[in-house]
Each structure stands twice: as structure tokens, then as C-alpha cells.
Amino acid sequence: MFKKLTYALLTLVFIPLAFGWVSAPVHASVEIGKPAPDFTATDIHGNEFNLADHKGKIVVLEWTNHLCPFVVKQYSTHNMQNTQKTATDNGVVWVSIVSSAPGKQGYVTPEEAAQIEKDVDAHATTRILDPTGEIGKLYAAKTTPHMFVISAQGTVEYNGAIDDKPSPRPESVEGAHNLVLAALDALSTGRNVDVPLTAPYGCSVKY
Amino acid sequence: MTIKASTIYKLFNVRFLPSLMFIAIACLALQPINAKANPADERYTEAQVISERSAVKPGDEITVAINIKLKPHWHVYWDNPGDSGLPVRIDWTLPKGFEVSDIKWPVPDKISYDILVNYGYYNDVTLLQTVKVPDTLPEGKITLTAQVDMLVCNEICIPESSTLSLHLNDPDNLNAEQSEFITAAQTKLPKEIKGQFFFHEADALLHLSLTPENRTILNTATEDNTEFFPHDWGIINHVAMPQVSIENGSITIKHERGDQPVKDLKTISGLLVIKGDIGQNIGFWVTAKPENGDTTAKPIAVNKGNSAPLSPSDTNNAPAPSNHPPPGSNINWFSALYLALLGGMILNLMPCVFPVLSMKALSLIKMKDKEHKRARLHGIAYTLGIMLSFLAFGGALIAFKEAGTTLGWGFQLQNPLIVATLAYLLFAIGLNLMGFFEFGGRLTNVGNKLTRGDSLSSSFFTGALATIVATPCTAPFMGAAMGFALTQPTAVSLSVFAMLGFGLALPYLFLSFVPAARHLLPKPGAWMNTFKQLLAFPMFASAIWLIWVLSQQTGAEGVLLALLGLLAIAFSAWLIHLENIGIARAIAHITLVISLLLMTLTLSSLRSIQSPPTKEAYAMGAPYQKETLSTLLKGDDPIFVEMTAAWCITCKLNHAVAVNIESTKKLFRDKNVQYLIGDWTNQDEEITAYLDTFGRNGVPLYVYYGKRDTVTQTRPKEIVLPQVLTPAIVKEYIGN
């Protein structure tokens, strides 16, 4: 009898413990090999996106701002779209995130975002608007582009630049070493990512 | 500038984007070298190349400058641009045999923008390079071409580039001299210094210990104008503010580390910067080496004839700066285990734990002497229950910490949801002890069951329950041990938690193993029931206290909801009391579950509108803020910092008996003590960080900063006061 009561009370204590903290906005930092901070958001098409739902699949997070010259370089040369296509064709979940605050460069409404997605022929799985910067700050996203690769086990395995040519010049795409593709290749063949951490380059995220 | 920005916005209008991209590609394809990446004609930079002199001889070395003038508010970047941006890039096209050095960068400014920090230059910047002239020179005019690529930003970023030509030995212009311009530019470069520069990681912070040989360079350095600008990416978290201390000719800079783990770094180079107005920073190049583990044996560098030789006494008194252990962490594993054991035992007396334990102890009275073995098994089961719960708790905390969450011990009470839940729990146990609360329609109440001591698993779960009801009390009393535990490797941390549990279990364990001790307990009888009812009151008292904590966190609304929750519990208990009426019991369970769920959900939404705790609660003292403290530290007056929380009983008690009393107030007035109070009732990163610097993970914390010495112009080392204060203790520390 007493056992029953204690069970009940234990449950009473631990249930709020469990969901009280998981959703609490905590100051988390992203470390290679550590679990990726979880987040839930509504994408530009109104669908719910919950990172935790995609455990078992590799997830790429791409911070973007369509007016940033470094992003323009990636999209005008189709380098980003090709990377997205290669990734998603291989079962990777690709999330483009816009953390520009209202009134700042790159801020868009869901409709505008959908139009951009169409115009540039993006191949991302989904696109999330983060005008409060909550997700961006959760990951300490610094630049556009800034890339994160999360393994099927939910750990961060790559954090940094899209490639090794920090330049806004479109011609710099040619011959650049695509660090995200390298990370995806390693993860999909069960190897460790050779270069898991690089300095992201580009415009600042317009929080 | 605003007009410009909006033009760009228009140009980059979403609808035109694809066509614009096409034009951009076309332009770039047609103009491979001198591409104007800036779509508007307006430029934000104007670059020129300037040579030390225009006539050169074979084998000469000359300094050339690339000068960039910027529109107001726009900036270009340093070699390490910080969190975003790109350094200025200069690509030379040189005649055969010419060589050019790396860029010498002037000391940059720190440019903060929300959570991002950049290093760069405003207004006017000159980058210097040395050009080596070959031993054989062609006749006549020689042309060197520099392609300068700049990313120029003011919130938005625009790539610009300039192609600049430098003509040497031009017969039309041979005597041009710009050496003054070059000399002026050289004064803006960082200075080379010698000294002892080390780094290590402690308390999750990167510590840089810089001891320059020439002390005079530190004359203008203060704790507020000194910073470190790393040359490489990922060394520090640029946006975090450094903690700087200057003592005995050494500067210690503690900084949150960057993306690169400190252990992976072989050296850290960068600028020790003494900040001035824009463009007026003074910088010194330092390259720090990792500190080896053996800090105590490190010899002090012997100074060889530098401009400010140290006196012998100075040398003796100047320890390598990194020899300072973090204050408060001078508590070793064994004393932590001892403190934990002691703390655990004291927990038995806490109003929230005592009733449960008393009931448990009473169960032993009823056991006949023959039942020794059984009593022992119960003792072991109970101890296991407590220790495993503590380990689970400790493990969860460590996991949170590993995941990067900054939580201190006592954090569980920073969440109103948990405070309310604990209040419900204590209230329910109180009702149960009153005999008001019966389960399953049988008249046996849970308390009787408890005193009878049935299955071993019940003992185990009593242990778990004791741990949970003890949590509101652990926080205020276990500060030092917990603080130590959480900064240690996992195994050590867990051993401290286990020891705390063992201490909590010890009295009962003792009773169950020593029959003689059991004989000292009173004989069983009717008094037990009365006693049990009496024990309900400490439980209710604890619940009241928790509701009061909640009132500090969520205000009146939260209290209302929590009290409604208690009403629901009481109502359900009454319904269950209507013995054997199946429907009533069912309704009781449903009511309880639904109302508690409702309260919990509403309470969790309240968290977002947490009102700051009322500062009026403190009769005196200014609220703690990092800036306030650093401002006060600049002054001469002594400072007393008190870190407290509404849910921390020790804190409240200390405040009431030792601080907020006439004699202490008078002492503070007489000594001009500046008094700061930090309230940690809700989560507060600044306070957590402050506690962390003292190796603490919980409140209370009392720190006293002595007044600045009029002769040496330095403050004595800050003193951490004990966690339990009396007026005499306060007087002893502050009176001297």
C-alpha cells in the first residue's frame, strides 16, 4: 500500500522534472560529439519540425540569409543547392534556418521565404524562420552560411563553414573543399569526420 | 548611409534575386579580375597605396602601406575577424625578384553586435608590408600592383575591391617621400613584449597569465580596460566578458573558451589590449604556452637588465600568477566526503525529513529482538534506496552539466513547477500522517503500514521518498560539498553524492544494526499515533515555506494555483476517506489527477512571466550586477557581496541574525562598506558565473573585498566568509 503511494508520489515528482526541464530554455553550447540541442519549430509551410523526431537520420542545419553576399555566392553558383540535393538524395534531413530579426537584413515572411525557396531551386528538406533568434542562439550560429551536421545518434559531428574558401567571390567555389559533404560522407560510411570544427565565414547572423 | 542601405535592399528585392544573381555571374564572368561586386556605384571604402619612398636601389627593403578610408560607421576586418566577416586581403602582382612580407596589422577595435563580436577598423586604417627589392633592377619605372579585397560591413556586408598601382623609380616622380605617414602608421601597430605568458583551463574558463618583463607597460592597465584579442579563431568566446585581475605585475584574464577545446591548443597568440577610444587601442603581442601541471615548482623568470628591474622583495612576493588556485576550491576529496557525510546526517533533523524518518524508526520499535536479521535487511534496503536516489540525482545533474547547461546546486528550486510539486508532496504526506489519508478502502492507513514495516521494497522506497523530501533542505546546507562535487570528475562527484545519501541513511542504519540502541527508544503504544499526527505539522510548515518561495517566483497568481492544487489534494483525500464507495474513490482519483495536471500545466506557463523577486525584501544593499561590482571594485571602499535565494533557509537565517541587524548595519556604515545582494531565487547566469569563480555551485556565498590600500593602491585578496554567519563572524572579517 505504502509502496503504491510512494510510486505515485515519485511519478508526481519526476514527470514535471522530466518535461519541465527538457523544454526549459537553457544556455547550451554546441560541442563536437555531444548531443545536439533539441528544438521545435514551425516551418514556412506550417508543418511542425522537431529535431528529436529525426533521430536515426543525419540532419544538416544551414543558417542562411538570402541577401548576404556569401550566401548569394553559394546559391548563384548552385553550390549550395547541389550540396543539398546530394545530401537529401541520400536520406539526409536538411534544414535551412533564417535567424534574421524583423527589420534586419534577410528577414522574410513565410510567403517570401517560400518564393525564395522556389526561385533559387533549393533542395532543403525544410526551411525554418527563427526571427527571435532562439534557435540561432541555441546553436551559437554566427555567420551565414554556418553549417552543423548532426549524426543519426543525435550528436553534433560538424560545426563550421560550408567550404575552405572564405571569400564572397563566386569563382572561389570552384576547387573549394566542401566540408559538409566531407562530413556527410564520413558519417554515412561510419568513419569519424576528419575536420569536425572549422571557423564559419560569412556575414554575421542578423539577430 | 541609410539611403544606401535601402537602395541595396531594393536591389536585392526577393523577386529580382534570381535575375540579379544572373547579372552578378555574368559580370563576374566578363570581368574576371576587377569585378565590382558592389552593385551600386557608391563605395564605402577608398584605398590607396603609399610607399615609404619612390626611389629604390637593388637590395633595398622598403615599407609600403595600404591605406583604407571608410564611410562613417562602416568597418573592415582584422586578421582575426571574430565571429563573422573576412580579413582584408592584399594580393600583389610583382615584377620578377620582388618579395613582399605578411601584413602588419594595427591594433583593431572590438565591434560588438548582439551575440557576435568582430575585430576590425573604422574610419581610417593603414596596413603595412615590407617589400624586398631584388639585387638586380631593371632600368626605369617599375610597377607593383596590389589587389585589395575588403568585406566592408555596417550590419550588412558588401564586398569591395580596389586595384592599386605603385610606381617605383618613375623618372617623373623620384623624390616623393612618405616616411612620416609610414612612421605614424607604425605607432598603431601592436608592440612586441617579453615576459612569462601561460595559459591553462580551470573552472571551465581559459586562464591567461601574463607577466611582462617590463612592468611599466601595465601602468595604464586596469581591470576594466584590459582585454585579450586572440589571433586565431575559436580560442575564446568573444562575446563573453573577461574577468581581469592585475596583481604584482601580472595580468590574469579569465575568459570563456571558444569552440576549440583548450587541451588541443599548443600556443595561444594574440594581443593584450589596453582599450582606448575608437582607433586608439594599445596592443602588445603575446604568445602564451600551456602551463604544465606542476605549477608550484615553476621558477620565476630572472630579469636581465630590463628597464624596470624587480627588487628582491618583489621577486619573492611575485608568484607566477597562475599559482592562485581558484578561491574556495581548496577543499579536497576527503574533506568533501566528510562534509557530505556530516551534511547527510544533519539532513535527518530537517523539518521536511524528520517526520518520515521518525516513522521509519518507530517501525523498528515494533520489531522484536528476534527479528534482528529482518531489521538489518530493512536498514540496508533503506540505505540503498537513499543512496541510489542520490546517485540518480547527482547523475542527472552531471548529465545536465555535461550537456552544457549552467545549473547550480539548488537549481531544482529555481523551477516553480518543482517547488509546487514538492509542496503538494509534503502536504500529502502531512495529511497521511494525520491519518486523514487512506488508501484502497481499507482502514489501515499508510502511516500504520509504515510503522509496521512490511516489505523490504517499502523500506527501499521510503529511502527514495526521504531523498525527495530532503531536496528542499539539501540546497541550503550542502553548498560547499555540492559545489566541490560538481566541479570534479564524474566518479568523484558521484562519490560525494553517495556519501551524502549514506549520511542521511546512517541513523536508521545504526538503529537497525544495533539492537541495544533500539532499546533506548520508547515502548510502542497508543502514543505513537499521537506522535505521528504531531509529525504532520513540520510537513505542513515545510509546505507553507515552499508556497512562500513560489510567491517570490511567480507572484500571487502562482500562489493561487498552488493553493488550488492543495485544495484538490485535500478534496481527493476526503473522497477517498468515504471508504468503500467505489465511485467516490474513482472520482477522487480522477479529480486528483485532473486538477494536479491542470495546476502543473498552468504553473509551467507561469514560468515565462516570472516576476523578478522584490528587492524591497532587503532592508539595505544594492542588487548585485556584474557591472556594479566592477565599478565598485574600481573605487576604494570595501565591498560586501551576499548571494542568497528565497528558498535558501540558511541564507535567510544568516541575513536575519547576522547581517540585517543594527550592529552590522552600523559596522557597514562606519567602514563605508558597499553592500551588494545577489538574488538567485530564479535562474541567473551572472550570479551562477560569480558563484563559479569561487568554486561554488550554490548559495549562500558571502564575499568581502577589503578596502584599497592607500600606499600600494591595491586591494587585499577577497575573503570568502563561512556559510553560517553570526554577528561575531561578520565583525571578525569586516572589523579588521
**What percent of chain A shows pLDDT beyond 70?**
86
Contacts of B489 (CB under 8 A, 6+ apart): none
Cis omega (within 30 of 0) for bond into B39: no
Backbone angles phi, psi at B208, to 5 degrees: -110, 125
Where does residue B123 fall: left (phi above 0), alpha (psi -120 to 50 degrees), or beta otherwise?
Answer: left
Inspect the interface and report whether the beta carbons of B418 and A199 lie closer than 8 Å.
no
User: Exposure of B51 by Cβ count < 10 A (0-12 exposed, 13-18 middle, 19+ buried)?
Assistant: buried
Which one, of B567, B581, B580, B588, lies nearest residue B431 by Cα?
B567
**Confidence tier at A105 by pLDDT (50, 70, 90):** confident
C-alpha to C-alpha distance for A188 and A177, rounded to whole angstroms: 18
- pLDDT value at residue B369: 56
Residue B290 per-residue DSSP state = E
Inspect the interface and report whether the beta carbons of A142 and B156 lie closer than 8 Å.
no
- pLDDT value at residue B22: 44
Interface check A67 vs B, CB under 8 A: yes
Inspect the interface and report whether the beta carbons of B422 and A13 lie closer than 8 Å.
yes
Inspect the interface and report whether the beta carbons of B404 and A143 lie closer than 8 Å.
no
Which one, of B435, B429, B421, lies nearest residue B353 by Cα?
B429
Inspect the interface and report whether the beta carbons of B418 and A1 lie closer than 8 Å.
no
Q: How many helices (H) and strands (E) does chain A have?
A: 6, 9
Where does residue B524 fall: left (phi above 0), alpha (psi -120 to 50 degrees), or beta otherwise?
Answer: beta
Is A127 in contact with A117 (CB distance < 8 Å)?
yes
Q: Which three cell numbers stand for residue B395?
A: 547523475
pLDDT tens digits for range A136-161: 988 989 899 999 999 998 899 999 99
- pLDDT value at residue B301: 32
Q: Please give the residue of chain A at the shortest CA–CA distance from B606.
A: A20
Strand, helix or coil for residue B704: strand
Interface check A69 vs B, CB under 8 A: yes
In which residue are the cell numbers 544573381 written?
Answer: B21
Inspect the interface and report whether the beta carbons of A21 and B233 lie closer than 8 Å.
no
Contact residues, chain B, for A35 at CB < 8 Å: 403
Query: Nearest C-alpha of chain A: how many angstroms from B24?
Result: 8
Low-confidence ranges of chain B (pLDDT < 70): 1-41, 175-176, 292-332, 363, 365-370, 401-412, 437-454, 472-487, 577-582, 602-620, 649, 697, 736
Contact residues, chain A, for B412 at CB < 8 Å: 17
Query: For residue A53, how many other CB atoms are within 10 A of its CB?
Result: 12
Is B343 in contact with B477 (CB distance < 8 Å)?
yes
Inspect the interface and report whether the beta carbons of A34 and B84 lie closer than 8 Å.
no
Q: Are strands A203-204 and A143-144 parallel, antiparallel or unpaired?
A: antiparallel
Inspect the interface and report whether the beta carbons of B458 and A6 lie closer than 8 Å.
yes
User: Exposure of B395 by Cβ count < 10 A (0-12 exposed, 13-18 middle, 19+ buried)?
Assistant: middle
C-alpha to C-alpha distance for B453 and B381, rounded to whole angstroms: 12
pLDDT higher at B219 or A92? A92
C-alpha to C-alpha distance for B308 and B326, rounded to whole angstroms: 30
- The alpha helices in chain A, defined as continuous H runs, are 2-22, 69-76, 79-89, 110-119, 134-138, 179-188
Query: Nearest C-alpha of chain A: how many angstroms from B310?
Result: 42
Interface check A110 vs B, CB under 8 A: no
Contact residues, chain B, for A107 at CB < 8 Å: none
Partners of residue A62 on adjacent β-strands: A96, A147
Interface check B455 vs A, CB under 8 A: yes
pTM: 0.48
Contact residues, chain B, for A27 at CB < 8 Å: 404-406, 685
Where does residue B309 fall: left (phi above 0), alpha (psi -120 to 50 degrees), or beta otherwise?
Answer: beta
3-state DSSP helix/strand/coil percent for chain A, to nearest 5?
35, 20, 45
Inspect the interface and report whether the beta carbons of A2 and B462 lie closer than 8 Å.
yes
What is each CA distance from B121 to B277, B282, B298, B304, B479, in whole angstroms? 12, 14, 40, 37, 47
Query: Nearest C-alpha of chain B: how many angstroms from A187?
Result: 21
In which residue are the cell numbers 566528510 written?
Answer: B338
In which residue are the cell numbers 547581517 written?
Answer: B659
Contacts of B468 (CB under 8 A, 6+ apart): A9, A10, A13, B389, B422, B425
Interface check B436 vs A, CB under 8 A: no
- pLDDT value at residue B92: 92
C-alpha to C-alpha distance for B423 and B558, rounded to whole angstroms: 13
pLDDT tens digits for range B455-479: 777 778 878 878 877 776 655 556 5
C-alpha to C-alpha distance for A184 and A195, rounded to whole angstroms: 11
Helix B490-513 to helix B456-477 angle, to the nearest 10 degrees? 120
In which residue are the cell numbers 539526409 written?
Answer: A92
Q: B116, B386, B397: best mutation site toward chain A, by most A Cβ within 10 Å?
A: B116
**Confidence tier at A58 by pLDDT (50, 70, 90):** very high
Q: Please give the residue of chain A at the shortest CA–CA distance from B405.
A: A28
- pLDDT value at residue A23: 32
- pLDDT value at residue A191: 85
Is B603 in contact with B558 (CB distance < 8 Å)?
yes
CA Rg value for chain B: 35
User: Which H or E run contains B434?
Assistant: helix B416-434
Interface check A52 vs B, CB under 8 A: no
Interface ipTM above 0.90: no
Give the closest of A2, A137, A166 to B449, CB-based.
A2
Contact residues, chain B, for A201 at CB < 8 Å: 84-86
In which residue are the cell numbers 541495544 written?
Answer: B516
Query: For residue B629, how many other CB atoms are within 10 A of its CB?
Result: 20
Is A49 in contact with A43 (CB distance < 8 Å)?
yes
Q: Which three cell numbers stand for residue B553?
A: 517566483
